[in-house]
Structures are given as C-alpha cells and as structure tokens.
Amino acid sequence: MSGQSSSTRSAFALPTRLSLPTSISTSSLPRYLRSFLSSFFLPIPSPTASSSSASSSLNPTAAFFYALPRVLLILSAVCLVWRIVEEPTDCSLLPAVRLQGACGYSDDELKRILAMEHGYTRGSPRYYFLGRWMHYITLNYELTMSKPNPKKDNLAVPPCVLVSVEGEVPCLTGTSCIIPFYLRPHTSDSMVLRVHFENVPAPFSVLRRETKQQRFTAVLDGGANIGITTTVLALMFPHARIVAVEPSEENYRMLRLNTFALPNVVAFRAALWNRLNEPLSVHADPRSHGYWTLMTSLPGHERGLKQHGAVRTVTVPWLIEVTGVPGFDLVKIDVEGSEREVFTPLEGSSRDQGYTLSWLSHVQMALIATHEGLRRGGEEAVRQAFDLSRFSLELGGTHYVYRSKDVFDDDMREQALAALKSMARLPAEGIEEGGDAGADTGTDG
C-alpha cells in the first residue's frame, strides 16, 4: 500500500525545475533577454517541501521575475480575446451622414475623425470628444467630473460631441449617422443623451416602424429640453415640420444651438397649457439633477422651490395656427406634470374662447409621458382625452403610446395585398396602384 501511494504521489508531483528546450540556443541572445526567458524556468517549489524551504527557494526578486512573464502572458491573451470580440472597425468604412457645421469641424477634419478607429462593436453608439472616440461612461466622466480649464476651454460655448449611431433611431437604414450635440458640463445633459442613445425609451422603439412610411407631415415636441428628441425626430422625418416647445430659458438656448442646422425645426420658448398667454413660473424639482426636470406652475404654487424664471403659455391650437400646419400627425409630450392641463378642455369664458381637444382628431400617433409624482391628475386626463374607439393603446404605465385606428399602415397594406393576390381578385399592377392610392388618402407619403 505504501509503494502504491508513493508511486501515485510521484506521478502527480510537479517538477522542481523546468529546463530550456534543447532546440533553443540562448548564447547569442542579449543578457536582458536571456534573463527574461530564463525567468520562465526558475525553480518551482515542490508541493511536498516544507513551508520554510518553499519560501526560501524563491527570494522576492526571483519571485517577481517568476510571476512577471506569466502575468504578461495572461494580459496578452485577454487583449487578444478582447480585440477578437470587439472587432474594431474603421469609421471611414461606414457611410456617414454629416449635418452642416458639425461641431465646427472642417471637411478635412471630419475625414480624419471618421478614419480613426473607434474600438467598439459595430452598431453601438460612439462619442467623439476631446480628440478621440470613447464610450458613454468615459464621456459622462469627462463632462461631469472633469474641471473646466479657462485657458483652454471656451466656456462661452458648451462642448460639442459627435455621436455616431447605427441601427437605432434615427439611423435605421444601415448607415452610420454622425450627429453633433452641444452639452453643458456638470449638468444633466449627458444623462439626457444617454436616455436617447444608450437606453432607448420604449416609445421610440415604436417609431422604428414609422420610417418606412414617412407619412408624418407635422410633428409636435412638447417639452423639448435641449433638443435631442427634436433632432432625432427631424432626422427621422426630414420632410415634416417639427415644432419644439420648451419653457426653460437655459434649455431653450441649448435647443436652438442643437437644432440651428435643421431647416425643418421651429422652436418656441413657451409652456404648453390649456390657456393662451398665461404667466407661469419655471422651477426645478428638488429630486432632480441639473436641468432635466423643470416644472411650470401658476405663480404662488412654487412652495419655495428654486426658480428658473417665468414664461408664457401656448396651446396646441395656437401652434397649429401660427405654424400653418393642418394639424400634428405625431405628438410627443413630456411636460413634467403639465399634461393634466394640456389634456383638460376648458369651457369658453370672457377671458378666452375656451380650449378643446379637437386637435386630437388629426393625430395619428401620440407619445406621452406622465408624472404623477410631480402633479397628480395627468394620467387620468390622458386616459379621458384619448377615445379608445378611435385610438389603440400600445404602451401604458408612465409612457403612453396611442395610435389612431384610422391609419392604414404599410404592414396592414402588405397583408391585404398579399391576401388579394392569393385570391386573384385583381391584376397585380392594379392592386399596387389602387392600394397605394387608397391607403394614402389624407396623408402625405
């Protein structure tokens, strides 16, 4: 039995020393390289040796050189796997859509920027800032944690970031869109950017189906903040008039800066309400950060909150009148608690002609965010405003998506045409022309 255990132990015992392969001659190598290679073959303590002898067999210097090459090998393997998984690609190989005046870069500078390796998987958002492409985590750190340098930074103009997006709104056609955004450091602007491009909101996932149809001719962005949603909508629907409304003076300046190169955007500094020209105060939600959650309320209802100026109100019918559109086909409303007023009709009085929700008759799709934590009554007002006999509710909770049942969309058209063709009711050419004409009645494709 003892002989068997001894043979078993010797079979699994580690060698006390590894020798260099005989096929390798190290005599002609430099001394530092011979030392580096020999560190792979230092004496290895035997498992059966005592702790004192094991510790004495490797002094600290030898232990360092013993561990260093193995650590380097592991790091090299990790880097190799990382590059295989990430598959760095050349941005210049991706078709890019550049807005005029993208962050002030010249054509030559943009070519150089697009030719730089971004180092992230194809299809993921990438951000060009401070002379390199980076991930959102790095961008957010640079914008929120870094200290401004008055000698190098132009503090009068916020920093500009180039965002490269592929396979997500607004770039769903397989191309990589290069979109410039000005973002204020040490504010919530970078978080607003993240919401749109890193964690795409559920309502925007519904819009993925709409780019094929291009049926929207007028879009309302109520609560535009700094213009990121406005820019996305303007790029998705370039032939539509985009009307953006933002009550905060600081956010409105950023909205104008981010949309100045988009000819189909009209911006108003005002608050959406159910009365016209009503004076309101703008104040911040104490639980929010930066300029993200700025609320509007009648004077005297601020309850000591931090003030961000005053603003006048507008109504949706007034916006339709002054912009000359027949109505809004798509409305996105995120007005931080004022949805209760926007969707509550008022009877006519001596002060005004009243407020009705007749403008909803033109709406084909509505994306609405409710904020019961800021002001109660918004969810109930939204539910009461949308007649489910005409609208279908596709998403609920705090983000509502309503779609008009009167819209005969492309998917329904394709299914109907396929059914008619299979039944051989009409020639294919006649079906295509008649189907398109009938389906597009009242819309601008």
* Spans of all domains in the chain: 28-45+63-86, 88-198, 201-407, 410-439
What confidence score (pLDDT) does residue 71 get? 76
Q: What are phi and psi of 52, to 5 degrees?
A: -70, -45
- Written as one letter, the residue type at 428 is A
Tell me how far apart the alpha carbons of residues 288 and 249 are, in angstroms, rounded to a whole number.
Answer: 18
Mean pLDDT, the chain, integer = 70
Q: What are phi and psi of 344, to 5 degrees?
A: -115, 115
Answer with the residue of higher pLDDT: 318 or 292. 318
- Helix (H) or strand (E) run with residue 301 in it: none
What confidence score (pLDDT) does residue 286 get? 53
Tell me how far apart the alpha carbons of residues 378 and 395 are, in angstroms, rounded to a whole number.
Answer: 16
Average the pLDDT over 327-356 and give the result.
80
Residues comprising the chain, all counted: 445
Tell me how far apart the alpha carbons of residues 162 and 101 are, in angstroms, rounded to a whole number.
Answer: 11
Among residues 293, 333, 289, 287, the alpha carbon closest in space to that of 314 is found at: 333
Segments in 272-365 forming alpha helices (H)? 316-323, 339-342
Answer with the residue of higher pLDDT: 119 or 329. 329
- Helix (H) or strand (E) run with residue 87 in it: none
Answer with the residue of higher pLDDT: 414 or 378. 378
Whole-angstrom CA distances from 413 to 72, 170, 195, 365, 407 are: 61, 24, 33, 18, 10
Whole-angstrom CA distances from 169 to 67, 185, 384, 409, 410 are: 49, 25, 30, 19, 19
What confidence score (pLDDT) does residue 264 get? 93
Domain 201-407: CATH architecture, name and number where available: 3-Layer(aba) Sandwich (3.40)
Residue 314 has pLDDT above 80, yes or no: yes
Answer with the residue of higher pLDDT: 76 or 273. 273
pLDDT in tens, 109-156: 888 888 887 665 655 788 999 999 998 999 999 988 766 665 555 557
Tell me how far apart the alpha carbons of residues 384 and 238 are, in angstroms, rounded to a whole number.
Answer: 32
- Written as one letter, the residue type at 366 is A
What confidence score (pLDDT) does residue 394 get? 77
The reported pTM is 0.67
Give the angle subtended at the CA of 444 by the CAs of 438 and 445, to the nearest 5°.
80
What confidence score (pLDDT) does residue 128 get? 92
The residue ranges of DSSP E strands in 249-292, in sequence order, are: 265-269, 271-272, 279-284
What confidence score (pLDDT) does residue 24 get? 47
Largest CA distance in the chain: 111
Highest mean pLDDT among 121-130, 280-289, 330-339: 330-339
Average the pLDDT over 12-27 and give the result.
46
Tell me how far apart the alpha carbons of residues 373 and 378 are, in angstroms, rounded to a whole number.
Answer: 10
Give the angle subtended at the CA of 352 by the CAs of 310 and 335, to the nearest 5°.
40
Whole-angstrom CA distances from 97 to 3, 40, 114, 173 are: 78, 53, 11, 11
- 78: tokens are 């990790």
pLDDT in tens, 190-238: 888 988 888 766 666 677 666 555 578 999 999 999 999 999 888 888 8
Residue 57 has pLDDT above 50, yes or no: yes
What confidence score (pLDDT) does residue 427 get? 41
Answer with the residue of higher pLDDT: 435 or 211. 211
The proportion of the chain whose per-residue pLDDT surpasses 90, expressed as a percent, equals 18
Among residues 412, 364, 409, the alpha carbon closest in space to that of 386 is found at: 364
What confidence score (pLDDT) does residue 108 get? 85
Residue 101 has pLDDT above 70, yes or no: no
What confidence score (pLDDT) does residue 35 get? 58
Tell me how far apart the alpha carbons of residues 240 and 365 are, in angstroms, rounded to a whole number.
Answer: 14
Answer with the residue of higher pLDDT: 117 or 79. 117
- 381: tokens are 């007002």
304, 310, 314, 315: CA torsion to nearest 10:
0
pLDDT band at 377 (very low <50, low <70, confident <90, very high): low
Average the pLDDT over 391-396 and give the result.
76
Answer with the residue of higher pLDDT: 321 or 413. 321
Give the angle subtended at the CA of 364 by the CAs of 433 and 261, to the nearest 5°.
95
Tell me how far apart the alpha carbons of residues 347 and 312 are, in angstroms, rounded to a whole number.
Answer: 20
Whole-angstrom CA distances from 27 to 24, 35, 37, 41, 109 are: 9, 11, 12, 16, 52
What confidence score (pLDDT) does residue 205 get? 67
Q: Which residues contact 357 (CB under 8 A, 6 or more apart)?
A: 343, 345, 385
Tokens 């998917």 sit at which residue?
411
Q: Which residues contact 269 (CB under 8 A, 6 or more apart)?
A: 246, 247, 249, 252, 311
Answer with the residue of higher pLDDT: 63 or 36. 63
Among residues 125, 118, 115, 132, the alpha carbon closest in space to that of 86 is found at: 118
Tell me how far apart the alpha carbons of residues 249 and 272 are, in angstroms, rounded to a whole number.
Answer: 15
pLDDT band at 354 (very low <50, low <70, confident <90, very high): confident
